[in-house]
Amino acid sequence: MQNSNGNTLQSRRKRALTDAITTAKASKSELELIIMAEGRARERVAEQLSRIGKVRHYYRFIPYISFKCDADYADILVKASSGDVSDSVFEKSFRSIVPEIGGIDISSRFSVPKVDARAFPATTKNRKISQELWNLEAIGAYEAQDYGRGEGVKVAVIDTGIDYGHSQLRDKFASNKGYDFVRNNENPMDQHGHGTHVAGIVAASDFGVAPNSTLYAVRVLDANGSGTDADAIAGIEWCIKNRVDIANMSFGGPMASRALEDACRYAWQNGVVLVAAAGNSGYGPSYPASFGETVIAVAAVDENITHPDFSNIYETNDIASPGVHVESTFPGEKYATFSGTSMASPHIAGALALALSISANCELEGLMKETADRLGAQEIFGAGLVRVDKMAKYLSENTAGNPLQALAKGYSRLETAADDALKGFARDAAAELRRWIS
């Protein structure tokens, strides 16, 4: 759905930038800006600004950089880009790059939505969830898995990382597990718990919606569950570069930069399906979910398939799924029950992965909305409760005779199987080496 408050968002971005600079100057702290510059001008801007701060991200697909500096320099730079420049506040060499700057935003901070405290504690170690779960029953996941289970589909969890050693998740990863943009390394281990819980809803062996899909952990949130636009954009670009099919974003905030909006649009235009939590504040926009057509915004329902008070009501809501008392994985070979639109979002990511494993030749979002159970007002529930069983049945009946579809599906499965075989060979070789050494 198109977002109708673009002008309002732009004015709020300007206020947010001014407020952030004022606050940072008072506390004498640094802040991160996201600066737009087109073409080769971006290199010149980055080179000059690196003299007074640190360029953290030089984005590959969108014409922006993220730049960290102290508040005084940020204030001067913003004023200069607005035409307020003089020798006394901005040296001549920096004045030369001002016309090449197309815009400046603050890199907004956001966090994972708070979960229901009554449903937070992890259960005892080594417990396995064996009974049928209300959330999977509600969306028809058990029936849908007779048609497909996510084979050959790549799903990124852009979050706090994933405990990829958990027994329910460890076989879901390719050799490339993902990336950690918080610590800038290739070990995106979850230090919070939120991302592991989200990942289990997508693909846990015994209770994921699409248990045969391939997971990627893209860590953009720290151990406290908070992060910034700048790292989120880097995570989205990683998904584009690595040809991820679906990316789940169970985080959000009331503000977002133009760069994050442009990154979501670029990903959408290049085939990455973005799914995001609608927010847990009860009403209003939460970004990136509320960007409109480029992101599928997911509201929550409870066990009675009614609206929980926390789930945001807003015009950009696209679909609803279970988000109350949802059991899933937790770091350290544990399990936990969480509530929030954070839990609703990965049900949709999993449902789309399952559907995509049946057929790659359909408009998934349209089919999802067409087959949903209507519940009420669009701003509360979107198109209604997702029914992945209806999606799977439709796709199975309408693609079974397509030889090209079968070939594409077979190739995807072969690719995944080959990667799994390589992982198995590496594990066996390492075990044999350990035996020889010992």
Q: Which residue has the tokens 């909305």?
A: 369
Burial class (CB in 10 A: 0-12, 13-18, 19+), 259: buried
| Gyration radius (Cα) of the chain, Å | 23
Residues 6+ apart with CB under 8 A from 428: none
Say if residues 290 and 316 touch (Cβ distance below 8 Å).
yes
Round to whole Å and give the CA distance between 333 and 125: 6
As a three-state string, the secondary structure of the chain is CCCCCHHHHHHHHHHHHHHHHHHHHHHCCEEEEEEECCCCHHHHHHHHHCCCCEEEEECCCCCEEEEEEEHHHHHHHHHHHCCCCCCCCCCHHHHCCHHHCCEEEECCEEECCCCCHHHCCECCCCCCCCCCCHHHHHHCHHHHCCCCCCCCCEEEEEECCCCCCCCCCHHHEEEEEEEECCCCECCCCCCCCHHHHHHHHHHCCCCCCCCCCEEEEEECCCCCCEEEHHHHHHHHHHHHHCCCCEEEECCEECCCCHHHHHHHHHHHHCCCEEEEECCCCCECCCECHHHCCCCEEEEEECCCCCCCCCCCECCCCCEEEECCCEEEEECCCEEEEECCHHHHHHHHHHHHHHHHHHCCCCCHHHHHHHHCECCCCHHHHCCCECCHHHHHHHHHHHHCCCHHHHHHHHHHHHHHHHHHHHHHHHHHHHHHHHHHHC
Q: How far, CA to CA in Å, does 276 sit from each of 70, 386, 430?
A: 32, 15, 39
Return the active site residues. Answer: 159, 194, 342
